[in-house]
Structures are given as structure tokens and as C-alpha cells.
Amino acid sequence: MYAVITTGGKQYKVETGQQLDVERLGVDEGEVALRPVLVVDGSTILATPSQLDGASVTAKVVGAAKGPKIDGFVYKPKSNNRKRWGHRQHYTTIEITAITKG
């Protein structure tokens, strides 16, 4: 059985026991309930809002992670215009503990 969940503006296909990095959730430890978009159990597919009323996906927060460093540099000749910037995305590592159909 697998489910498609939405978090951080992205969709992920998850199964029980899977670990993944998602956008920072703001929770350091404990359980998190995620909203499923689609639940598939063998030949049964739950996709409509009325079918997904009782469906839920629970996950345990494992830790935090950081993405790769992105360096940027903008240069415009003859105008002494230079701008240097960097970014490193923060992620929350979660482990899917249960998928319920409801």
C-alpha cells in the first residue's frame, strides 16, 4: 500500500517504513499527521475527497538535514555592479509509520 502526500508545496509517493527529506515542518520531534492526496491499496484507489475523509498518513520526525550550498554571482561589466549570494535549504527528515484508509 502506498499514498501520495502533500507537504511544503510538493507531492511525495510514500510507503510505510520509508524515510524522506521534506521542507522544514517546524516540529523538532514527535509524530506528524500528513494529508494524503491519493491512497492505493492493491487494486483499490481512493482519490475523491469523500473517500479520503478518514484517510491519514502518520510520520515520525527523525531529525533535520541541510541541502547543498548554492552559490550565485551576478556581474555587470563597466558599471562596477557585482552581487554575490548563497542559499542552503533546511529539511526535516521523517519516517512514515502508518498509512490508514479510514
Residue 83: band (very low, low, confident or very high) from pLDDT cuts 50, 70, 90: very high
pLDDT class of 20 with cuts at 50, 70, 90: very high
Per-residue pLDDT, averaged over 48-73, amounts to: 93
Q: Count the neighbouring beta carbons within 10 Å of the beta carbon of residue 27.
A: 12
Structural domain including 60 reads: 2-100
How many domains is the chain built from? 1
The whole-model pTM stands at 0.81
93, 21 contact by CB (below 8 A)? yes
State the pLDDT at residue 90.
96
pLDDT at 35: 84
- Pair 22, 33: CB distance under 8 Å: no
Give pLDDT tens digits for 25-55.
988 899 999 988 888 887 888 888 888 888 9
Residue count of the chain, please give it. 102
> Is the model's pLDDT at 102 over the cut of 80?
no
